[in-house]
Amino acid sequence: MSDNEAHDRDPERPVVLGDLSERLRRLDRALEQARADDVRVDERANGMRASTQGMAQALRLATEFTAGIIVGGGIGWLIDWSFGVSPWGLIVFLMLGFAAGVLNILRAAGLAKEPGTPEG
């Protein structure tokens, strides 16, 4: 029964129990459909949230690794430029930067302990 039907109904006409039962069944079906739709929306949102968290973790790991190499290369280049020992400063500090990047990735992924934490 729509809102228009409820307003247009004759006030003198008695409410029949069958009408109420039918209306209750329609409302139950509509409520079940709305709940099913909510569950589908929640499942989609959880799937998207998981994929964005994975992407954020991957970008963080890539940034940690790249930053280690860039900083190591920069320090090596400055040592080469300052002391004229080219290319040895760059080679050594690029390797140190690579090692630092790998260590940062292991720490970020939880595979190596953070400095200053007691061993478990």
Q: What is the pTM of this model?
A: 0.55
List, for residues 45-87, the tens digit of each pLDDT value: 776 777 788 888 889 999 999 999 999 999 999 999 999 988 9
Whose tokens are 């003198």? That residue is: 12
The DSSP code sequence of 46-104 is HHHHHHHHHHHHHHHHHHHHHHHHHHHHHHHHHHHHHH--TTHHHHHHHHHHHHHHHHH
Q: Which residue has the higher pLDDT, 110 or 106?
A: 106
Residue 108 pLDDT class (50, 70, 90 cuts): confident
E strand or H helix at 45, and its extent?
Answer: helix 17-83
Percent of the chain with pLDDT over 90: 34
